[in-house]
Amino acid sequence: MKTIKFGIIGCGLMGREFASAAARWCHLLQPSARPEIVAICDKNTDLFDWYRHNFPLIAMLTTDYKELLANDSVEAIYCAVPHSLHKEIYIDVIRAGKHLLGEKPFGIDKEANKAILNEIEKHPNILVRSSSEFPFFPGAQRVFQVIKKNEFGKIIEVNAGFLHSSDINPNKAINWKRLIDINGEYGCLGDLGLHVLHLPLRVGWMPVRVHAQLSNLITKRPDGKSNMVDCETWDNAILNCDVETEDGQAFPMTLKTFRIAPGEIDTWYIKIKGTRKSISYSTKYPKTLMTMDYEPGAPQEWRREDLGYETVFPCITGSIFEFGFTDAILQMWAAFVEELTTSCPGKFGCATPEETQLSHVVFTAALESHRDKKVVGTLPSSVGNMMGYPDEKQD
Ligand SMILES: NC(=O)c1ccc[n+]([C@@H]2O[C@H](COP(=O)([O-])OP(=O)(O)OC[C@H]3O[C@@H](n4cnc5c(N)ncnc54)[C@H](O)[C@@H]3O)[C@@H](O)[C@H]2O)c1
């Protein structure tokens, strides 16, 4: 089987998730290629031991990402670094001729995202994608299939979100994810927003207008050195959006990204209500898919179905078992590696640069909406012709 030699830049929480997925590639049935991690880079050398211990084939361990990019044996990069570094490092990766799976939000702000997309346009032979794993859950995939069949009748409303309680403890020390300079002005939107928008954008549900309510609930946090310091990032965001689809539907879509949602840990959900069919899936109940088919005069009954291990990329796991977060990570990586080696026709793929661009348009509109207390227009409803920012097209 073909091997693709990978370097990891940023060996923290998510760097290890990729390494672990690569280590259990045998889980996939008949993949067209497999990743082999040959080089890693992080400023924090304490992280290297875990990699050294588990991945003896790693030949390069460095604190300088440029040294890693100069390594000719490295063909592709996973980059999982703080948001303030996305622009510089992603651009350098692409210029070095390496394929890239980057992390969301794919640039700390719209300007950074634009610079990354400009570089991508100059390198059409480099595959660049963004991480977003939740749409690979079997329930999310079933929702995707139902949307494609367009059986909702008239869509009444869409609710999608990603809820965490990771910041509910006011005594949790501040880290880079709570600092505007490093995490960005988007706050929770930059952290969680692409996860929520990936599937709606994939089916063409780009918000055309946004009204945002942003909350900073905990404004001071300990700094770990006995001081309380400002915590200025947005904890929670509610985006009330208007969607207008190419086939003439118009409906409200509410997007929630919460870092303070009591009782929730990593809850990704999407609910679509229509006059003929409704569907609801949440990772809170990862096996459960809810659907309702309505015929005039018939009872309105939700049907509850237990889902098994139905994956985009087939695995050794029997369909009678259940699916989880690390399985979604493996599926996302399978999608990236398959796209590197085959064109993956018809298969659900990783978030595209164009989808990250649209997400930045929505997040930037949300900041403006909250600041000026107004509804902000974004784009024409079409998601075709996506390269180039909408404000550049209005002449
Ligand atoms: N897909 C997901 O589910 C998911 C989950 C969490 C985070 N993320 C994203 O992953 C990225 C990283 O987040 P994380 O949670 O892994 O953070 P982390 O803090 O655990 O890891 C980031 C690593 O980058 C390293 N680093 C910083 N500057 C560097 C430099 N100049 N060169 C090399 N390494 C450097 C840090 O030392 C750290 O180890 C972010 O973009 C974040 O939004 C994605």
Strand 33-41 relative to strand 2-9, pairing: parallel
With 50 as the cut, is the pLDDT of residue 222 above it? yes
- Check if 43 has its Cβ closer than 6 Å to any atom of ligand 1: yes
- Binned at pLDDT 50, 70 and 90, residue 395 comes out as very low
With 80 as the cut, is the pLDDT of residue 277 above it? yes
- Check if 153 has its Cβ closer than 6 Å to any atom of ligand 1: no
Protein residue with least CA distance to atom 29, ligand 1: 43
Nearest atom of ligand 1 to the alpha carbon of 190: 43
pLDDT for res 282: 98
- Check if 145 has its Cβ closer than 6 Å to any atom of ligand 1: no
Protein residue with least CA distance to atom 14, ligand 1: 13
Protein residue with least CA distance to atom 41, ligand 1: 103
- Binned at pLDDT 50, 70 and 90, residue 343 comes out as confident
- Check if 83 has its Cβ closer than 6 Å to any atom of ligand 1: yes
- Check if 85 has its Cβ closer than 6 Å to any atom of ligand 1: yes
How close is the Cα of 112 to the center of ligand 1, in Å? 17
Per cent of the chain over pLDDT 70 is 96
How close is the Cα of 213 to the center of ligand 1, in Å? 27
Tell me the pLDDT tens digit for each residue of 89-145.
Answer: 999 999 999 999 999 999 999 999 999 999 999 999 999 999 999 999 999 999 999
| Prior bond of 380 cis (ω within 30°) | no
With 80 as the cut, is the pLDDT of residue 153 above it? yes
How close is the Cα of 80 to the center of ligand 1, in Å? 4
Say which residue the tokens 């509109």 belong to: 365
How close is the Cα of 35 to the center of ligand 1, in Å? 20
pTM as predicted = 0.95
- Check if 13 has its Cβ closer than 6 Å to any atom of ligand 1: yes
pLDDT for res 380: 52
Which whole-number Å values give the CA distances from 25 to 36, 149, 279, in the listed order? 10, 32, 32
Tell me the pLDDT tens digit for each residue of 12-55.
Answer: 999 999 999 999 999 999 999 999 999 999 999 999 999 999 99
Choose the residue to mutate in 18, 41, 42 for probing ligand 1, maximizing ligand atoms within 8 Å of C-beta. Answer: 42
How close is the Cα of 13 to the center of ligand 1, in Å? 7
The Cα–Cα gap between 78 and 350 comes to 13
Tell me the pLDDT tens digit for each residue of 348-394.
Answer: 999 999 999 999 999 999 999 999 999 999 975 334 333 344 444 43
How close is the Cα of 356 to the center of ligand 1, in Å? 18
- Binned at pLDDT 50, 70 and 90, residue 58 comes out as very high
Burial of 49 (0-12, 13-18, 19+ CB in 10 A): exposed
- Binned at pLDDT 50, 70 and 90, residue 344 comes out as confident
Side chain identity, residue 183: N
Tell me the pLDDT tens digit for each residue of 72-81.
Answer: 999 999 999 9
Choose the residue to mutate in 69, 103, 132 for probing ligand 1, maximizing ligand atoms within 8 Å of C-beta. Answer: 103
pLDDT for res 386: 39
Nearest atom of ligand 1 to the alpha carbon of 83: 41
Kindly list the structural domains of the chain, giving each domain's residue range(s) and its CATH number in brackets, ordered by start: 2-130 (3.40.50.720), 134-321+350-372 (3.30.360.10)
If DSSP states are collapsed to H, E and C, what string results for the chain? CEEEEEEEECCCHHHHHHHHHHHCHHHECCCCEEEEEEEEECCCHHHHHHHHHHCCCCCEEECCHHHHHCCCCCCEEEECCCHHHHHHHHHHHHHCCCEEEECCCCCCCHHHHHHHHHHHHHCCCCCEEECCCHHHCHHHHHHHHHHHHCCCCCEEEEEEEEECCCCCCCCCCCCHHHCHHHHCCCCHHHHHHHHHHHHHHHCCCCEEEEEEEEECCCCEEECCCCCEEECCCCCEEEEEEEEECCCCCEEEEEEEEECCCCCCCCEEEEEEEECCEEEEEECCCCCEEEEEECCCCCCCCCEEEECCCCCCCCECCCCCCCCCHHHHHHHHHHHHHHHHHCCCCCCCCCECHHHHHHHHHHHHHHHHHHHHCCCEECCCCCCCCCCCCHHHHCC
Average pLDDT, the chain: 94
Protein residue with least CA distance to atom 19, ligand 1: 12
Nearest atom of ligand 1 to the alpha carbon of 15: 16
- Check if 102 has its Cβ closer than 6 Å to any atom of ligand 1: no
pLDDT for res 77: 98
Protein residue with least CA distance to atom 21, ligand 1: 12
Tell me the pLDDT tens digit for each residue of 302-328.
Answer: 999 999 999 999 999 999 999 999 999
The average pLDDT across 141-154 equals 96
How close is the Cα of 138 to the center of ligand 1, in Å? 27
pLDDT for res 383: 41
* Closest among 133, 129, 59 to 93, alpha carbons compared: 129
- Check if 355 has its Cβ closer than 6 Å to any atom of ligand 1: no
How close is the Cα of 98 to the center of ligand 1, in Å? 19
